[in-house]
Amino acid sequence: MLINTKKNHRLSEQQVTDESVYHGRRELLKKLGYLGAGSLLAQSASTNAGALDFFSSKEAEVFQRQALKFAPAGESLQILTPEAKISSHNNFYEFGMGKSDPVENAQGFKVNPWQLSISGEVDKPYTLGYDDLFKHFPLEERIYRLRCVEAWSMVIPWVGFGLAELIKKAAPNSRAKYVAFETLYDPEQMPEQKSRFGSVEYPYVEGLRIDEAMNPLTFMSVGLYGKTLPAQNGAPIRLVVPWKYGFKSIKSIVGIKLVEDKPPTTWNILADREYGFYANVNPAVDHPRWSQASERRITTGGLFARNRIATLPFNGYGEEVAHLYKNMDLRKNY
């Protein structure tokens, strides 16, 4: 798999370390050190100034206190989540509701042949086959934080290409205001889709505003850790929107449609009070059943490892995306 040099994103290889020094391919990381608690807090104060504008002075003060509370001094925070953890701790309800169900139930999932259609309010609709996913656009590696709405997080080295490139190829017209996504519907391969007891309506659907979709950070992943995606992580292609909660990053996509009206999204349909359309990571707005002020970073440690850290506005990507929500009330538009 050809991986081009990545551009300047929030997390680089100089800011992280990894499992077994990235399978022996990242020896340089040994010499470059870690991004520890102190520098993480400093980063939140500088690169996320725009994001903090969305909070009152009192809320910003609370955020800074939480950052100090949940970032133990001297502890390395920006550690690449081990590949084994990424591939075994998953929310992919089509393969089961438990965290370990997807890795157990997705082993026989067939991704080739595959078709991804790009349609809707475009002048040049087209379809990509399985091989096209890897050769149609230059591939690059990006290290992004992933923050789950359940208040755990990972640091993942994705491989893929910008969603903007895929959209521009279809030549969207002036009526394209939103982008709707749809997951494969295949009950024979995805056992939970035919369950009589599940509450999720399938196929899984998601959506972004067109400017969110075209943002340089928005990514279509076809791999991680330099390999093709495991089935339980959304093979063969998934969305990654690093400033939003993880459920927005829809997996195993077969349809991308540009539309004029805001599309329905699965979790908003299921529980609109708990899961909004925007789903931007926001430590000042709690989930109705738990706090979002901090998160458990999944690293090499076990369940009781000292890895509780403060959650950053927009998951730390405020400098790149806060302008998308200027003059919006992010408490109402959650």
**Which of the listed CATH numbers 1.20.200.10, 3.90.420.10, 1.10.600.10, 3.40.50.10860 matches domain 13-325?**
3.90.420.10
- pLDDT tier for residue 48 given thresholds of 50, 70 and 90: very low
pLDDT of residue 34: 27
Give pLDDT, residue 29.
32
Residue 49: the pLDDT is 32
What tens digit of pLDDT does each residue of 195-254 get?
A: 887 889 999 999 999 999 999 999 999 999 999 999 999 999 999 999 999 999 999 999
Write down the pTM of the prediction.
Answer: 0.81
- pLDDT value of position 104: 96
- How does pLDDT run across 69-123, given as a tens digit for each residue? 333 333 445 789 999 999 999 999 999 999 999 999 999 999 999 999 999 999 9
Considering only 15-19, 63-67, 161-165, which range has the smallest mean pLDDT?
Answer: 63-67
Per-residue model confidence (pLDDT) at position 41: 25
Mean pLDDT of 257-282: 97
pLDDT score recorded for residue 197: 79
> Does residue 314 register a pLDDT over 80?
yes
Q: Does residue 47 have a pLDDT over 90?
A: no
Q: What is the pLDDT of residues 129-162, one digit of tens each?
A: 999 999 999 999 999 999 999 999 999 999 999 9
Which of residues 230 and 67 earns the better pLDDT score? 230
pLDDT of residue 170: 98
C-beta separation of 259 from 176 below 8 A:
yes
